[in-house]
């Protein structure tokens, strides 16, 4: 019989990676009741300059004023920070009531509600918004310029919304070959819907254990794996604010341990199939960083 040709050795692609986490590290500081007001003030101060520059070209006939300077029925441009009042937003008072109530509160699927409304605030005050600015399209903290007028009810009737847009983008170098970053979410390890076989197939694909040469060639171009969001599932009864009994604590840690074991196959995998023989440490820290955030402890909806 004819001897099959030897497998072609494949080399995993490389990609430069700079960890910029240090900019967010708090060193030598302790919490002493600090609030976030200075962040909002600084953001408004810088964004106001950009938005004021848009007014001459977009609304040249309108004056720019503050919340305190509004006049009923007079068209103007108002610059400020949006605050979204959400009826279903979690509150510590609601949690306290839930603990003391004999009737359990209904847990919403998300925090959106038809009664949500927007408020614009600046250094001089705040005003409720109405008109052409749907609450579902915005979140708290966005700085905008609004064309409209104050109504007899004390609201600001919005006719047009002006946004500063994106900042200047950094020019990225072009590459002549394909390189891939794998994003994975919704694993829900520990839930009834979690399928270990599917997760293992994913790992086998990333590590080059699945498919023919074409599929393994694609796997060799994976340079990063990011597992982000809803990675583990903790039973809701353990997240009700009550103290967890000692006998139940291992149940909480079990999904996290299982996820760690699965991801270890990717992070610390050394022996590769013969077709990847040229890779001595394909998933070392330099070659392939596995960054994962266990975010399923709480689900956040805007």
pLDDT per position as a tens digit, 60-91: 999 999 999 999 999 999 999 999 999 888 77
Confidence of residue 300 (pLDDT cuts 50, 70, 90): very low
pLDDT of 102 strictly over 80:
no
Confidence of residue 284 (pLDDT cuts 50, 70, 90): very low
Cα separation, 136 vs 149, whole angstroms: 22
pLDDT of 7 strictly over 60:
yes
pLDDT of 299 strictly over 90:
no
The arrangement of secondary structure in 37-162, i.e. its CATH architecture, is Beta Barrel (2.40)
Cα separation, 143 vs 164, whole angstroms: 8
Confidence of residue 105 (pLDDT cuts 50, 70, 90): low
Q: Do domains 37-162 and 176-293 have the same CATH topology?
A: no
Q: Domains of the chain: which residue ranges?
A: 37-162, 176-293
Placement of tokens 């149940």 in the chain: 251
- Residue with the bigger pLDDT between 28 and 224: it is 224
pTM for the predicted model, two decimal places: 0.61
Residue 74 has what pLDDT? 96
pLDDT in tens, 228-247: 778 888 777 776 666 777 77
pLDDT of 302 strictly over 50:
no
Q: Which three-class secondary structure string do you get for the chain?
A: CCCCCCCCCCCCCCCCCCCCHHHHCCCCCCCCCCCCHHHHHHHHHHHHHHHHHHHHHHCCCCCEECCCCCCECCCEEEEEEEEEECCCCCCHHHHHHHHHCCCCCCCCCCCCCCCCEEEEEECCEEEEEEECCCHHHCCCCCEEEEEEEECCCCCEEEEEEECCCCCCCCCCCCCCCCCEEEEECCCCECCCCCCHHHHHHHHHHHCCCCCCHHHHHHHCCEEEEEEECCCECCCHHHCCCCCCCCCCHHHHHHHHHHHHHHHHHHHCCCCCCHHHCCCCCCCCCCCCEEEEECCCCCCCCC
- Read off the pLDDT of each residue in 258-268 and give the average, rounded to a whole number: 77
Question: What is the CB-side half-sphere exposure of residue 73 using CA atoms within 13 A?
Answer: 1
The arrangement of secondary structure in 176-293, i.e. its CATH architecture, is 4-Layer Sandwich (3.60)
Confidence of residue 293 (pLDDT cuts 50, 70, 90): very low
Residue 241 has what pLDDT? 63
**Mean pLDDT taken over the chain:** 79
pLDDT in tens, 142-173: 999 999 999 999 999 999 999 998 888 888 88
Give the number of residues written for the chain.
302
């Amino acid at each position: 019989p004819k001897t099959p040709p030897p497998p072609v050795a494949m080399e995993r692609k490389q990609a430069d990676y700079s960890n910029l986490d240090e900019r967010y590290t708090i060193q030598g500081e302790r919490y002493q009741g600090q609030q976030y007001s200075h962040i909002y003030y600084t953001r408004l101060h810088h964004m106001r300059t950009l938005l004021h520059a848009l007014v001459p070209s977009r609304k040249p006939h309108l004056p720019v004023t503050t919340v305190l300077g509004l006049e009923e029925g007079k068209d103007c441009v108002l610059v400020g920070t949006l605050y979204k009042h959400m009826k279903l937003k979690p509150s510590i008072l609601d949690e306290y009531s839930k603990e003391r109530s004999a009737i359990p509160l209904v847990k919403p699927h998300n925090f959106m509600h038809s009664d949500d409304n927007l408020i614009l605030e600046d250094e001089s005050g705040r005003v409720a918004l109405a008109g052409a600015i749907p609450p579902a399209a915005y979140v708290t903290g966005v700085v905008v310029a609004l064309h409209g007028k104050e109504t007899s009810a004390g609201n600001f009737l919005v006719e047009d919304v002006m946004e500063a847009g994106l900042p200047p983008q950094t020019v990225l170098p072009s590459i002549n070959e394909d390189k891939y970053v794998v994003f994975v979410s919704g694993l829900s390890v520990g839930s009834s819907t979690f399928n270990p076989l599917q997760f293992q197939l994913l790992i086998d694909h990333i590590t080059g254990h699945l498919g023919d040469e074409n599929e393994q060639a694609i796997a060799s171009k994976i340079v990063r794996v990011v597992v982000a969001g809803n990675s583990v599932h903790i039973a809701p009864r353990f997240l009700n604010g009550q103290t967890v009994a000692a006998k139940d604590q291992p149940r909480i840690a079990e999904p996290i341990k299982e996820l760690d074991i699965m991801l270890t196959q990717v992070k610390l995998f050394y022996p590769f199939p013969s077709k990847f023989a040229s890779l001595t440490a394909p998933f070392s820290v330099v070659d392939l960083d596995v960054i994962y955030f266990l975010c399923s402890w709480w689900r956040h909806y805007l």
